[in-house]
């Protein structure tokens, strides 16, 4: 008969899980994008800074293994938030929403490039360290 040792204290891991990273990025980016569209009638610098801060924060405060989610969620959250905000302000006029969406992507492009490259480089670095440890 074998006895199993039962640990009475579960080990607590510090940091955000994958779901926590995704929800944090989506809510933060959506709040800033919707606020900026309502106040300034367009997407600009504040939304770009929010994208960068969300990516940097999720890389910094996420657990190990959340690098992929931290890199992939920010651009998707920005796209969804800007589409919803533009549909809310413009109504369902495909040509106007399309032009506004292209303008939003153009104004946030440098911030999206910076945050995406930082997130993906962090993901590749963590993946490379896992391969070299094995």
Domain ranges in the chain?
A: 18-133
d(CA 18, CA 50): 19
Handedness of CA 86, 67, 55, 21 (dihedral sign): positive
d(CA 51, CA 25): 8
The pLDDT tens digits of the residues spanning 11-68 come to: 667 888 889 999 999 999 999 999 999 998 888 899 999 999 999 999 999 888 888 9
pLDDT at 117: 94
Angle in degrees, 0-180, between the axes of helices 67-90 and 18-40, rounded to the nearest 10: 30
d(CA 128, CA 122): 10
């Amino acid at each position: 008969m074998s006895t199993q040792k039962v640990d009475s204290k579960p080990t607590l891991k510090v940091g955000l899980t994958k779901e926590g990273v995704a929800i944090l990025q989506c809510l933060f980016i959506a709040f800033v994008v919707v606020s900026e569209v309502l106040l300034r009638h367009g997407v600009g610098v504040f939304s770009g800074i929010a994208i960068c801060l969300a990516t940097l924060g999720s890389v910094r405060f996420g657990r190990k293994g959340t690098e992929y989610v931290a890199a992939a969620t920010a651009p998707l959250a920005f796209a969804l938030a800007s589409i919803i905000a533009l549909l809310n302000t413009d109504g369902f006029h495909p040509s106007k929403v399309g032009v506004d969406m292209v303008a939003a992507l153009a104004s946030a492009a440098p911030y999206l490039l910076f945050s995406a490259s930082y997130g993906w480089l962090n993901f590749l670095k963590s993946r490379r360290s896992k391969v070299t440890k094995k």
